[in-house]
Amino acid sequence: MQCNYFGICGSCRDYESGYEGQLEHKLSLVREMFTPFYKGEIEIARSPEAHYRSRAEFKIYHNDGVISYAMSRLDRQGAVMIDKCSIVSPVIASVMERLLIEVSDLELGHKLFGVDFLSASNGEICVSMLYHRALDAEWKTKALVLQERLGVNIIGRSRKQKEVLSRDYITETLTISGETYRYVHIENSFTQPNASVNEQMIEWSLSQLEGIGGDLLELYCGAGNFTIPFAKKFDRVLATEISKASINAAKQNMELNGVDNIDFVRLSAEEFTQALDGVREFRRLEGLRVSDYELKTLFVDPPRAGLGEEPCAFASRFDHLLYISCNPETLLRDLELLSKTHTVTAMAAFDQFPYTHHLEMGVKLTKRG
């Protein structure tokens, strides 16, 4: 990948040896980390070398009435002004080039401090404009013109204010093991940023669930990124997530893909454990009998903090455990607990964020005895 800002911009921190070099550097570290638990081959999901990010956030810098994009510097000494970014999707790259020209022309730059982009492979894009001022009728009139000129979905945000001019979501299409899935991705909520690696991540996960059957429990399900394809592998799926917006999107995505064997429930992992063990009753589970499920498989994709002691104790009850981790260090900590009852039978590495030190991991564990 060619970039004029390598070594200056703080977004990409491992670039000197090229794509394969940075990937091998990360892989060598995780191979050494996880050797005590797994000595087999770690499968690798590579990313496109450029234009792979479907979600991006930029600061806006003002200088003598001229606005430009900015990123934090690699040396943490302020910001660096940029006019393009080689890691964003082609859709975002195209809109970036034109957006600030039109913003200046329409005088929409006053108190603008950030712009977030969310794109789909079919060309749909949401552009969220972040302000340090209230957005009034004049802003809306001008922003509607901006939206028409660029052919995008504009969202305006300021303190306790959100103005949606058309819609605040895009519909992404993923091809997974030869099948097509569609997902509603909502602006300002979590989505997988690298569509190509996401497809590979779901495909690998599906391969680890082959032939198990029964019912599946998923914790931290988000908007159903994994849940929807997983549903074809199981009789029923029970999926939990604490975010109300994500649960609503997950239910919409289930309908969008014609899936009818998933129950999405807005509970934290800790709350679900309490419900399953009969410690507490929750109105959000009204009409749903958790005890009716044949839950012998657990899938988790927790935040960077990982699972921790109590959730690991809960996970150890299951015959089959599939764990997607966005933080190898907390995964290592959790495996020290889970390995007391389970054996690691497969492992994969997903390069969601090339040219950084970040690497996501997948682990399949099977209960001993």
Architecture of the domain spanning 18-49+192-367: 3-Layer(aba) Sandwich (3.40)
Tens of pLDDT along the chain (369 residues) come to 889 899 999 999 888 899 999 999 999 999 999 999 999 999 999 999 999 999 999 999 999 889 999 999 999 999 999 999 999 999 999 999 899 999 999 999 999 999 999 999 999 999 999 999 999 999 999 999 999 999 999 999 999 999 999 999 999 999 999 999 999 999 988 899 999 999 999 999 999 999 999 999 999 999 999 999 999 999 999 999 999 889 999 999 999 999 999 999 998 888 888 887 877 777 777 777 777 888 999 999 999 999 999 999 999 999 999 999 999 999 999 999 999 999 999 999 999 999 999 999 999 999 997
pTM over 0.85: yes
- Which pLDDT value is given to residue 141? 98
| CB-based contacts of 13, cutoff 8 Å, min separation 6 | 74, 355, 356, 357
Distances in Å between the Cα of 2 and the Cα atoms of 12, 51, 81 are 12, 11, 17
Q: Round to whole Å and give the CA distance between 42 and 348.
A: 5
Bridge partners, 164 (sequence order): 155
Write the CA distances from 38 to 50, 203, 339, integer angstroms: 31, 21, 10
At 108, list the tokens: 């929409």
Instruction: Tokens for 92, please give them.
Output: 């975002």
Pair 103, 69: CB distance under 8 Å: no
Backbone angles phi, psi at 364, to 5 degrees: -105, 130
β-strands 55-63, 153-158: how paired?
unpaired
| Positions marked catalytic | 326, 360
- pLDDT score, position 2: 86
CATH architecture type of domain 55-170? Beta Barrel (2.40)
Q: Where are the domains of the chain?
A: 18-49+192-367, 55-170
Coil, strand or helix: which one is 125? strand
Q: Count the neighbouring beta carbons within 10 Å of the beta carbon of residue 343.
A: 14
Q: Do domains 18-49+192-367 and 55-170 have the same CATH topology?
A: no
What pLDDT, on the 0 to 100 scale, is given for residue 104?
Answer: 97
Longest CA–CA separation in the chain, Å: 70
Are the beta carbons of 124 and 88 closer than 8 angstroms? no
Strands 295-300, 320-325: pairing kind: parallel
Q: 29: closest CA among 359, 333, 364?
A: 359
Answer yes or no: are the C-beta atoms of 206 and 183 closer than 8 Å. no
Given 3-state DSSP classes, what are the helix, strand and coil percentages for the chain, each rounded to the nearest 5? 30, 30, 40
